[in-house]
Copies of this chain bind each other. A is one copy, B any other.
Amino acid sequence: MTTINKELLLTKIGSRIRLLRETKGLSQQDLAALCNFEKTNMSRLEAGRTNPTITTLYKISQALEIKLSELLNIDEL
């Protein structure tokens, strides 16, 4: 259980969202729409350029039809 820094944490989560989104064949636009926000904000999230709140991540998990814990199921975290 090694602690990683904030930047790495955020990029890992962003990459995880991107992976799951692409697996479902959705564009950033599509996923953003399902979450009721703009594609620009999805781009920012996936790039790890923001520190999302749990409600934002929950909206994404719902749009991806997975559990919140699955969205954040990243080996290193």
A interface, CB within 8 angstroms of B = 1, 3, 6, 9-10, 13, 51-55, 57-58, 61-62, 65, 67-70, 72-74, 77
Query: How many copies of this chain are found per oligomer?
Result: 2
A67 to B25, CA, bound (A): 28
Smallest Cβ-Cβ distance to A52: which chain B residue: B54
> Which listed residue, B9, B69, B70, touches A58 by the CB 8 Å rule?
B9
> A57 — which chain B residues lie within 8 A by C-beta?
54
CB distance from A8 to the nearest CB of B (A): 11
Q: Which of B1, B10, B13, B53 contacts A52 (CB 8 A)?
A: B53
Distance in angstroms between the alpha carbons of A53 and B51 in the assembled complex: 6
